[in-house]
């Protein structure tokens, strides 16, 4: 469309009126010159739309990190509840199946919670690093505690 025209030197950059346009912003259709043309994933963006794009990207990542943090802490809570159940509600005479179920209830959430927390920390931007760190720490602590119980249990068993 207008790109055709601009390539023939007719269009002018909408930001720098003196510069000939070398492309058209895919987002708003503004002409861009070689100075302000930015190619993102093969698409041309003008300075204004680039800024919006970056802002949106940061916002999405922030949401992502927040989600990871919330999930990480929630999963720790699930694992912790199972740990309490294991300590206070499961009699020592309970069957192996019960112990396996409770063990899985502690182990699975804490491992997944740990991974999600680390994934959250791996996000470059976002304001929920603290939440992710708390999630990672709590889940790691729960995991270590659980493994400690198992090892002690095995040693006593022997």
Binding site for Zn ion (CB under 5 A): 13, 15-16, 25, 27-28, 30, 33, 35-36, 46, 49
Quick one: tokens of 9?
């030197």
Tell me whether residue 24 or residue 121 sits nearer to Zn ion (CB atom). Answer: 24
Minimal distance in Å, beta carbon 72 to Zn ion?
37
Minimal distance in Å, beta carbon 19 to Zn ion?
5
CB–CB of 125/62 below 8 Å? Answer: yes
Minimal distance in Å, beta carbon 10 to Zn ion?
15
Torsion angle, alpha carbons of 19, 24, 29, 35, to 10 = -40
Quick one: tokens of 122?
């791996």
User: For residue 44, what are the β-bridge partners?
Assistant: 39
Torsion angle, alpha carbons of 100, 101, 103, 107, to 10 = 120
Tell me whether residue 16 or residue 66 sits nearer to Zn ion (CB atom). Answer: 16
Minimal distance in Å, beta carbon 38 to Zn ion?
10
Q: Tokens 């790691």 label which residue?
A: 140
CB–CB of 21/35 below 8 Å? Answer: no
Tell me whether residue 21 or residue 138 sits nearer to Zn ion (CB atom). Answer: 21
Tell me whether residue 8 or residue 124 sits nearer to Zn ion (CB atom). Answer: 8
């Amino acid at each position: 469309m207008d790109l055709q025209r601009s390539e023939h030197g007719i269009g002018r950059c909408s930001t720098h009126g003196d510069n000939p346009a070398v492309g058209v912003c895919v987002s708003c259709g503004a002409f861009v010159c070689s100075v302000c043309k930015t190619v993102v994933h093969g698409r041309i963006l003008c300075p204004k739309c680039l800024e919006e794009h970056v802002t949106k990207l940061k916002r999405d990542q922030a949401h992502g990190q927040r989600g990871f943090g919330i999930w990480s802490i929630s999963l720790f809570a699930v694992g912790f509840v199972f740990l309490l159940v294991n300590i206070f509600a499961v009699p020592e005479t309970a069957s192996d199946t019960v112990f396996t179920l409770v063990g899985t209830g502690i182990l699975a959430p804490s491992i997944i919670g740990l991974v999600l927390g680390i994934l959250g920390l791996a996000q470059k931007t976002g304001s929920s690093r603290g939440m992710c760190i708390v999630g990672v720490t709590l889940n790691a602590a729960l995991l270590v505690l659980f493994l400690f119980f198992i090892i002690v249990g095995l040693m006593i068993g022997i």
